[in-house]
Structure 1
């Protein structure tokens, strides 16, 4: 349930007593009425981010309500316009709905009827603006170099900082994280932000390639090097010349090949199978693992010298359950991506949906969340866009959190969203959430939120895009 206090509602009517009574009803319901006598004046009070709805009489001198509706939707088709019709004027109401009116009220109407129609309109507007802002943010990020690291938690902020720094140096990198945590995305982000971005990014899953051919895949071979080698083959390392090689599931690499990999890393040269000529390499190697390689080395399951050679720079990638406050933002991001790709609209995410996302344990991490967001866009309508039903139908297992923890995460998510929309302005956050300043500062301390970070976030984003 979102706080409606200070949500502006434009009331357009040429009769003063109607403006007064309608405004009084909405003010008692917690809204901020803006009574206006003409359609022309109403248009002057609208902007692209107007957060409320418009309630307008149809019959007015000059520009009437129907003309106002068409003008508003010419500017912003997502802005709900509620029209007030005369008693028994059914044909006008039908025309209004056909022309895009969000709803209509027939005089005389009850105050609770007005409040309910406005409440639904305000919620629709809020979700439309959130979707619009997210889509704009996505488009802006797509113009920036490299894949986007989505999240506001401290752990993801640290990771983004490290990715930016590492991309500017030539060190090999070891990524450590659970399955689905986003190791491939981080590898691509490092590559795309580096001077090597114009050269190939070559990825190979060491656990998916049969051991019988992985040596040829990595290092290449000459014609006749072995039975079946009917022509020369360029290996992954040589193909990545000038760019980046990403070795996923490095722990699955056969021990015999680990020796050759160590030599490639040390000498920056490769020999094709069946050749004695070394080919110099200009590459960066990024390896990824989901296990503790140091423990594997100590157990004799991974070469210790290769581990220490790879361990120059290690980036741990946090699992999704350790940054739960990022889950709603990530989900919306993936939903907008899926909707854009499929030419559909991303369905809005309501409070119940956020609660369902936060309650899940996400064993498949970001990959599982992305798959759910895509399902939500493509087939969520079959479940009336109820995330709990859609999640129960999926193969993922559900984890349970204590109610108090779910409430805390939801509360932090709401405060984070308010800080983002208000760009860290405390007074506006207090008004939006309907809480006293002292209570809000107590919440900041509890959840380790710093308003000044949100004030500078837009400037930082702009500078990153340069």
Structure 2
């Protein structure tokens, strides 16, 4: 925690000055107010961890200030000081929500200990509150970043919400293009580390002879050509989240050194004998089954077991039902805005083509297809089915009739919502369905208004 912020409230100038100087020397950030009214006006700007107030003051008393702070329901503790304390007053103060009640003369060192305990408690409350706010208020944000209405996507969002708050290493397992880096960023952004750096390293893209320098850094002169000191990715990520993408391609020798860093949470630059403590979260992403790779001797088993605190499987697009249609609409609208072109309409045959295509490149392939469709660079009149069919064969098992109907209904409703600027009344008229029927279908199909 950074320096705790204390708001001193006392009408006696000598006491204010003495307290302010003592607390600043003791490692606090101190602000002062001459009375309770002034203190209340400062609360929002100062956001103190603790209000340290005298009880007896002209106008509002310290007890009045305590009650006002509690009525505002802000994350701030209040400690009362008085030279006229008695048991009934102390009991009343504690019942009103005071953190502590001190009587003059007090021992300065004891005051500092009490302030630190109160500030640590508030810092923890604020951290928990902020995390809950992110998780609760982030439901809609998660839904826009991890798009899909299938059960697999519901499960994925649930796992991300749960694991974001837990300071544990994670393995992301999924085919190429399933969105492993997107999930890693969500784990970071919805965690207490969100203010820290997020660093992604593609292990497959680093030459074997450079991987140690890239990950661990080096001192000047550590080897030929190392003229300057270099900070490695582990050290650079301190306080944040490090994504080791395609970790299965990392050389075995480098894996052994990464294991040591992860176990000790400390890194040693090449050419140095000094360990640098690390406070980082490791997310390892792989398209290969790391357990199978370790059993085959291609990946260190000890590193796999150390990383495997939690595993998040990412489903291929072909297993996510009509999520592909929802995603295609999303990427199509995004591309149309970027290229400043109107989004082309999808016909029923196009929706069916999206549903039956195997999507070997998963979401990455889908995004590219949506961008090409938005640009209209293919032959005029060419259907999406022909475009996709020219690139890859359809999935062995086509979508069921119910899935195709649901996908088409979703497409029609979304298209009408877009055409009528989210006006439900206009869509009801255009589709000639009762408002209740439309609402039920939107709920069942996961259709949301853009302005919602």
TM-score (norm 1): 0.58
Q: How far apart in 1 are the matches of 2:367 and 2:289?
A: 26
1:383 maps to 380
* Kept in 2: contact 1:187–1:286 (CA 8 A): yes
* Kept in 2: contact 1:175–1:287 (CA 8 A): yes
Q: How far apart in 2 are the matches of 1:345 and 1:141?
A: 30
2:218 maps to 221
Q: How far apart in 2 are the matches of 1:179 and 1:381?
A: 26
Matched, 1:398 2:393: yes
2:357 maps to 360
2:259 maps to 262
Matched, 1:408 2:395: no
The alpha-carbon deviation at position 458 of structure 1 amounts to: 7.1
3-state SS in 2 of match to 1:174? strand
2:277 maps to 280
* Kept in 2: contact 1:355–1:406 (CA 8 A): no
1:3 maps to none
Q: How far apart in 2 are the matches of 1:141 and 1:432?
A: 33
Q: How far apart in 2 are the matches of 1:288 and 1:190?
A: 13
Match of 2:166 among 166, 169, 186: 169
1:343/1:268 Cα in 2 relative to 1: closer, same or farther (>3 Å)?
Answer: same
Size of the alignment, in residue pairs?
303
Q: How far apart in 2 are the matches of 1:337 and 1:343?
A: 10
Q: How far apart in 1 are the matches of 2:180 and 2:174?
A: 7
3-state SS in 2 of match to 1:203? strand
The C-alpha deviation readout for 1:16-40, integer Å capped at 9, x for no partner, is xxxxxxxxxxxxxxxxxxxxxxxxx
* Kept in 2: contact 1:145–1:193 (CA 8 A): no
* Kept in 2: contact 1:180–1:366 (CA 8 A): yes
Q: How far apart in 2 are the matches of 1:147 and 1:239?
A: 30
Matched, 1:302 2:299: yes
Q: How far apart in 1 are the matches of 2:342 and 2:413?
A: 26
Q: How far apart in 2 are the matches of 1:303 and 1:195?
A: 30
1:163/1:142 Cα in 2 relative to 1: closer, same or farther (>3 Å)?
Answer: closer
Q: Give the CA RMSD over aligned residues.
A: 3.6
Matched, 1:344 2:338: no
Q: How far apart in 1 are the matches of 2:442 and 2:332?
A: 29
The alpha-carbon deviation at position 266 of structure 1 amounts to: 1.3
TM-score (norm 2): 0.60
The alpha-carbon deviation at position 408 of structure 1 amounts to: 3.4
1:321/1:402 Cα in 2 relative to 1: closer, same or farther (>3 Å)?
Answer: closer
Q: How far apart in 2 are the matches of 1:434 and 1:343?
A: 33
1:270/1:224 Cα in 2 relative to 1: closer, same or farther (>3 Å)?
Answer: same
Q: Where in structure 2 are there 5+ consecutive unaligned residues?
A: 1-136, 418-426
* Kept in 1: contact 2:442–2:448 (CA 8 A): no
The alpha-carbon deviation at position 414 of structure 1 amounts to: 3.9
| Equivalent residue runs for 1:167-246 within 5 Å | 167-246=164-243
* Kept in 2: contact 1:146–1:188 (CA 8 A): no
| Equivalent residue runs for 1:123-142 within 5 Å | none
3-state SS in 2 of match to 1:348? coil
1:147/1:214 Cα in 2 relative to 1: closer, same or farther (>3 Å)?
Answer: farther
Higher RCO (CA 8 Å, separation ≥ 6 residues): 1
Matched, 1:150 2:144: no
The C-alpha deviation readout for 1:24-76, integer Å capped at 9, x for no partner, is xxxxxxxxxxxxxxxxxxxxxxxxxxxxxxxxxxxxxxxxxxxxxxxxxxxxx
Q: How far apart in 1 are the matches of 2:290 and 2:138?
A: 34
The alpha-carbon deviation at position 248 of structure 1 amounts to: 0.6
Bigger CA drift: 244-253 or 336-345?
336-345
Matched, 1:160 2:157: yes
